[in-house]
Structure formats: structure tokens, C-alpha cells
Amino acid sequence: MSSNNERGVKACNAMKTLGFNRAKARKVVKRLFKLYDNNWEPIEEDNYRILIDAMLDEVSDEPMPATTPQGVDEDPVALSHQGANEDSGPHSSTWARQEYQHPHSSASASRYDIDVSDNESSLIKRPRMSSADRVHGRALQPASQAIMALPAVHQSGGHGEPSAPVTRSRGKDLLLESPQGVLLLEESKRLNIGEYGAALSKAQSNGGSLQEEAVAPFVKPLACQRAANGIVFPGSSAPESSGPSFQNWIVPYESELPSEPRPLHDVADISKGEERVRIPIKNDFTDESCPPLFYYIRKNLVFQSAYVKTSLARIGGDNCCAGCSGNCLLAPLPCACARSTADDFAYTPEGLLRTSFIDECIAVNHFPEKHNKFYCEACPIERYKTEASPDPCKGHLARRFIKECWSKCGCDMQCGNRVVQRGITCNLQVFFTSEGKGWGLRTQDGLPKGAFICEYVGEILTSSELHERTVENAKNGKHLHQLFLDASWGSEGAPRDEEALCIDPTFYGNVGRFVNHRCHDANLVLIPVEVETPDHRYYHLALFTAKKVEASEELTWDYGIDFDATDSTNQAFRCMCGSQYCRDRKNSKKRARAAASRN
Ligand SMILES: C[S@@+](CC[C@H](N)C(=O)[O-])C[C@H]1O[C@@H](n2cnc3c(N)ncnc32)[C@H](O)[C@@H]1O
């Protein structure tokens, strides 16, 4: 093993190759070394990713010195003198940025933590981030976000000393410029700093010409291909494993270091063992073996400020069936849970949602004007559209809820009134659609009407948290699909921000995030489900088949999008649903023209 000094010099050399000032690199290396308790591994990991990040911060916030002191290049880094305290901790802007990008609570002693706070909807293991993890956590963000997060740095006016790289945007792409070369970071690809360094060195050896524009040969998610070959990576759940697995790993970008790659998606099971069934990934159309990365979670998780009160004390006698046992569906009279759904159970003994219940929910979606709406005094949706003078509330449909039995009920887990909480049982597949909708979800088997497919799972955000994300993602040209839990808005006064909730599956979600939209005649319907709390400010969103579905058919639901609405933060996509009832008028016109040219 090399000495501290050798490793320090190596780190500084690597920074110099990237065009950073060596003296500054030495200072930052020392600071990080101290921060990580004299441990080199986090600093060296991923080809010095954390160090590069800290260097970019350093040069973005302080003017670079014009020249490097004489002889500095030859000096050993002398990291053994840890008493020399130049800086006490990470640069504040680094943390501000990391908090934004991977916004979890502060570091804790253990990497995993059982979440037992009473304002969270589920008890589920999730990663707690160490300070190093928070830097790595950035890897899980969509590529364009990760790239956009690189701070714009100012070129030094130094003489003879390499300047720090300067970032410039070019459309959706990013250019990293230094006197050694220009590197184009393509929007859709992942940044690999090692390749960046190699590209810069190459440009340097070719005479340091600025004209040459190197396109970084970014690395693809190797783990997908290898997983397809049946190789299981450290940290991934083996397909054979039966028990639950918690693999919400902090996945670093791939580096060219000879370390074993961490698992990304597992093509044999996108849930990596979280679900009771495996959900494979298939792409017959393009080279992408996997969808972009996200954390697979089986249950909703509170992002930060959402108020999800699920205390047992809130569940009164008429909100549970404490006196029941076994399977409530077999009892001679409907239990209290069934009565609060509709004086009867929502489910049949075969585990399907009753046809009458489905048809009623579909009718509410098809003819919203004929159904009851609640109106907020100050609607959280309108509040953020035009903060100065928000429009009046457009109304929130009064929805039918399924009420499932739960922990305060006397029945058992196999009770027929506990369908959604038991999770996915159908054989599903995430597949790449041929119509330009990206990835989608399909069933591998034929399904009857009323079959539970999956919940729409994601992070639980408040409306202000959602607004921040939406604005940020609109800037990056990204469109997310969050759903408001607005069934009770307007019925109980104006919801406060922490009670006006939505589900965002973009970064943490389940297979529900792959279900594409179809106008009007979709084969799924989304239904609110009450499980842990009678308080309808928080509930589950479950997808059921709205009709019989054939094997291999794509599963779709009607997002209820108004394709004519223009809203800068919520622009709808161009609909490719193929339905004869498609509401996207641009497509209707196209179809009409195509029909006219055929005649
Ligand atoms: C919830 S995601 C569905 C999964 C998505 N296709 C993917 O590849 O991750 C919603 C996004 O899928 C695409 N999408 C869904 N339905 C579509 C449709 N009918 N036509 C075109 N794009 C669609 C849009 O980009 C939309 O923002």
C-alpha cells in the first residue's frame, strides 16, 4: 500500500491533469483527508469524483491565484501533518448543492436505518447517507441533472498555469473547457471524469489545441448487460433469494478503475427482490438494455416535510374491524371496513375489484362535470402557477375510496379485504414501446376485469416541494409525472402545505412509473385506497384492470391530461396513445390529414 504522501501526490497529479491548480488541489486534498478521518478510499473512489467535486467548488467560489508558487509541483503533499487546519469541513456550497440533489436528512451512524417515525406511512429500510454517500448519491440523478449540477467556474487569468475547466451550456449539452481541450458532455449520457481526464490528456499531447472538441466516450450501465448474463453483483439480490432485500444502494457512476461495478438495474427483476414476483425488463427495439436509473421502492416514502399521520390512535372503532378474525369476506355481515367502502366489500372472493365499483370510478373520470367537486379557498395547485394572483381552484373530484382492513383489524394478512397492501401478484414486464412512448408496462398473462396490477408508488412530497422540483426539471427540459393526493382538498378547509401532498415516482418509485397514458379507453383505472389512516389527506393510488386484458398487452391508464392547456411548468407530451379517442388535437389533425390523403 502506498504511503499517505504518495497517495496525496497521486491525487494532486490527477487534479493537475484535469487542469486544476496544484496548490489548490493540495489544500483540498488535505481538507478531504481530514474530513474522512485520514481515509483515502472515499477520496480515491470513482477516480477522485469527490475530490473533483470539491475542486470545482473551490474554484467556483474563490478567485484562482494568477500563478502557482514556485516549486509547489515538486513538494510532497505532506498529509501526515493533520494539525495544520486550513479548512474545517466541506465547502458550504458543496453541501447546499448535495442537499438539493439528494435531499435526505443528515448523516447518521449507520448506513441503513429503520424508519419508525410516526409521520411516515411505511416502516421500510432505506439508505441513510453518510457525507460521502451524499456526494455519490448524485449518481442516481438523471444524467442531465448530474451534468447541469456542475457549477459554472471562472477561468483564471493565470500565466502559464493551467486554468480550471469552465463549463458552458450548449443547448441541452454541456461543454467543459480548459486550455487542454474542450469536452462535450452529451445531455443524455453520463459524465465519466476518468474519461474526461483521458480526453484532456489526449488533447494536451496533441499540442493542447482548443479547436479539438473531444466527445467523452461515456460508459454505459454495464451491470445491466452482465445481469442479463445471469451474473449477480455484490449488493444485488440474487434472483433465488426469497426474503425481502433492501438494495437501495448509493450507486456510483461507473469508473474505469478496476473495481467491481455496483448493480444498477437487474434485467431479470427491476424490483431486485422487493416485490413478491420478479418483473423483468425487455427491449426489442433499441440498444438501451435498461430504463434510466431510479431507486425501486415497494412503498411510498416521505421525502421531507410531508405530514403523514398514521397513528393507531386515529383509527376509531368504526374505522377498523377489531372484532373480526380470519377472512372478513367470509363473515355473514360486512365488517366496519367494508361498510366504510360502500356497505359492502370492494373485492370479490376471487380477489377482483367489483365490476360496479370499477364502472363507477371510470364514469367519474369520463364525465367529471357530472360529479361532485370540492373547491379550495386557496388551491395549492393554483398557488404555484401564478403566485402573484392565483386563479380560483378548478375543483377536486369527490372520489370513491376502497377501504382495506389493516393492523388494528382482527382479520389476518390473507383477508380478502387486503389486496393492495399485499402487493403485486401478476406477471408483469417492463418493456420498450415501439410507438415512441419510451418504456412501458405489460402483462405477460391474460387478466380479467378488476385485477389489481400495482400501486403508484413514489416519494411523498408537499405541494411546495413538488413546485421546486417541477421548476428545476422544466429548466432541464425534463417532465415528471407526479400525482396529487387531492381527494379531500376543499372538503376540510384549505390544506396547509405539509398536508397538500403528491406522489413523485421520478427518483424513488415502483413499476407504476412505467405505465403509459392512453386517452379515454385505457385498460387500467387508478383508484384511491385507504389503508393506514382514515384521514384522506394521505392515501394509496392503486391501478386495477378496467376491462379484460390479453397476454402481452400494454397496460395504460388515462392520466386525465388536458392536452390543450398551456402551462410552462407542466407541458404535456405529444400523445402517441393510438386511441381513436385521443385528445391530443395535434395528433387528431395528423390522423385526419393521413385519412384524407388515403381517400
Ligand atoms: C409515468 S411515465 C411512463 C413511463 C415512460 N414511458 C418511461 O419511459 O419512463 C410518463 C411519461 O411517459 C411518456 N408517455 C406516457 N404516455 C405517453 C403517450 N401516450 N404518448 C407519448 N408519450 C407518453 C411521456 O414522456 C410521459 O411524460
Q: Which amino acid is at 330?
A: L
361 pLDDT band (50/70/90 cuts)?
very high
514 lines ligand 1 (CB under 6 A): yes
Q: Which of 433, 437, 457, 582, when mutated, tests ligand 1's pocket best, judged by the most ligand atoms within 8 Å of its CB?
A: 437
Residue 327 pLDDT exceeds 90: yes
CA of 239 to the centre of ligand 1 (A): 28
pLDDT of residue 587: 67
Average pLDDT over residues 362-374: 88
Cβ 466 vs Cβ 502: under 8 Å: yes
The answer to whether residues 188 and 41 belong to one domain is yes
Residue 286 grid cell: 433499441
Ligand 1 centroid vs 288 CA: distance in angstroms?
Answer: 16
> Tens digits of per-residue pLDDT, 35-47?
888 888 888 887 7
Verify that 474 and 362 share a domain, yes or no.
yes
Residues 307-311: what's their mean pLDDT? 88
For residue 157, pLDDT over 80 is answered with no
Residue 576 Cα to ligand 1 middle (Å): 9
Q: Is residue 588 part of a domain?
A: no
| Whether residue 120 has pLDDT greater than 70 | no
Measured torsion, CA atoms of residues 567, 572, 573, 574, in degrees rounded to the nearest 10: -90
554 CA → ligand 1 middle, Å: 12
Q: Determine if ligand 1 sits within 6 Å of the CB of residue 437.
A: yes
The whole-number pLDDT of residue 565 equals 73
Classify residue 272 by its DSSP letter: T
The pLDDT assigned to 273 comes to 96
Distance CA 437, CA 454 (A): 20
Q: Both 209 and 337 in a single domain?
A: no
Which residue, by CA, sits nearest to atom 4 of ligand 1?
514
579 alpha carbon – ligand 1 mean position (Å): 15
Indicate if the pLDDT at residue 11 is higher than 60: yes
Dist. CA 438 → ligand 1 center (Å): 6
Mark which of 215, 246, 278 sits at the end of a domain: 215
Q: What is the pLDDT of residue 533?
A: 92
pLDDT value, residue 80: 36
Domain endpoint, select from 185, 215, 245: 215
In whole angstroms, what is the distance from residue 552 CA to residue 437 CA?
17
Q: Confirm or reject: Cβ of 438 under 6 Å from ligand 1.
A: yes
What is residue 368's predicted lDDT score, i.e. its pLDDT? 85
User: What are the pLDDT digits (tens) for 41-93?
Assistant: 888 887 788 888 788 877 765 544 333 333 333 333 444 333 333 333 322 22
> Do 168 and 305 belong together in one domain?
no
Pick from 35, 49, 261: nearest CA to 138: 49
Atom from ligand 1 closest to the CA of residue 437: 22
- Residue 573: strand, helix, or coil: coil
Lowest mean pLDDT among 121-125, 583-587, 594-598: 121-125
Question: Is this model's pTM higher than 0.95 or not?
Answer: no
- Whether residues 368 and 516 fall in one domain: yes
Res. 116: pLDDT tops 70? no
Q: Ligand 1 pocket, 543 CB below 6 A?
A: no
147 phi/psi in degrees, rounded to 5: -70, -45
For the segment 125-147, the average pLDDT, to the nearest whole number, is: 30
Q: Does the residue 261 lie in any domain? A: no
Distance CA 131, CA 31 (A): 14
Whether 19 and 150 map to the same domain: the answer is yes
Q: Is 573 in the pocket of ligand 1 (CB under 6 A)?
A: yes
Measured in Å, residue 431 CA sits from the centre of ligand 1 at 12
Residue 452 lies in a domain: yes
Q: Tell me the pLDDT of the chain averaged across its residues.
A: 71
Give the lowest-confidence range in 161-165, 389-393, 446-450, 532-536: 161-165
Do 199 and 314 lie in a common domain? no
- Asked if the model's pLDDT at residue 167 lies above 70, the reply is no
Please report which confidence band the pLDDT of residue 166 belongs to, taking 50, 70 and 90 as the band edges. low
Best residue for ligand 1 mutational test, from 508, 517, 577 (most atoms within 8 Å of Cβ): 517
Instruction: Give the 3-state secondary structure of residue 146.
Output: helix
Cell of 561: 391530461
Which is more confidently placed, 560 or 262?
Answer: 560
Sign for the pseudo-dihedral over CA of 263, 470, 556, 454 = positive
Lowest mean pLDDT among 103-107, 410-414, 490-494: 103-107
Q: Which of 92-96, 280-284, 567-571 has the highest mean pLDDT?
A: 280-284
511 shares a domain with 379: yes
The answer for residues whose C-beta is within 8 angstroms of residue 153's C-beta and 6 or more apart is 56, 59, 60, 164, 165, 166, 167
Residue 564 in this model has a pLDDT that exceeds 90: no
In the beta sheet, which residues pair with residue 362?
Answer: none
The residues, any chain, with a CB within 8 Å of residue 502's CB and separated by 6 or more, are 460, 461, 462, 463, 466, 482, 483, 484, 485
Find the 516 Cα to ligand 1 centroid distance in Å: 5
- What local confidence, expressed as pLDDT, does residue 594 receive? 62
Q: H or E segment at 97?
A: helix 92-101
Q: Quick check: is 356 in a domain?
A: yes
324 and 473 within one domain: yes
For residue 499, being part of any structural domain is answered with yes
Contact yes or no for 48/15 (Cβ under 8 A): yes
Q: How many domains does the chain have?
A: 2
* Confidence check: pLDDT of 183 > 60: no
In a domain, 268, yes or no: no
Ligand 1: centre distance to CA 435 (Å): 11
Could you tell me how far CA 87 lies from the centroid of its own chain? 34
Q: Give percent of the chain above pLDDT 90.
A: 35
Residue with the nearest Cα to atom 25 of ligand 1?
A: 573
Q: Are residue 360 and residue 472 in the same domain, yes or no?
A: yes
H-run or E-run covering 338 = helix 336-342
pLDDT of residue 215: 36
**pLDDT > 60? residue 550:** yes
Structural domain boundaries, residue 543? 301-557+564-572
Check residues 45 and 335 and name the one with the higher pLDDT: 335
Of ligand 1's listed atoms, the one at least distance from the Cα of 505 is 1
C-alpha distances in angstroms, 177 versus 65, 186, 211? 19, 14, 11
The pLDDT score that the predictor gives to residue 240 is 31
Burial of residue 409 (number of CB atoms within 10 Å: 0-12, 13-18, 19+): buried
ipTM for the predicted complex: 0.99
What is the rounded CA–CA span in Å between residue 599 and residue 275? 51
Are 60 and 187 in the same domain?
yes
Packing angle, helices 4-17 and 22-35, rounded to 10: 130
Q: Is the pLDDT of residue 338 over 70?
A: yes
What's 335's domain CATH number? 2.170.270.10
pLDDT in tens, 194-206: 444 554 455 445 5
What is the spatial distance between Cα 480 and Cα 470, in angstroms, rounded to a whole number? 7
Q: Which of 22-36, 189-203, 284-298, 531-545 shows the lowest mean pLDDT across its residues? A: 189-203
Of 172, 187, 215, which closes a domain? 215
pLDDT digits (tens, 9 = 90+) for 423-457: 999 999 999 999 999 999 999 999 999 999 999 99
Q: Does residue 200 lie within any of the structural domains?
A: yes
Measured from the Cα of 479, ligand 1's closest atom is 27
CA–CA separation, 445 and 64 (whole Å): 63
Tell me: do 316 and 415 sit in the same domain: yes
Does 486 map to a domain? Answer: yes
Judge if the beta carbon of residue 578 lies within 6 A of ligand 1.
Answer: no
* Composition of the chain by helix, strand, coil, percent to 5: 30, 15, 55
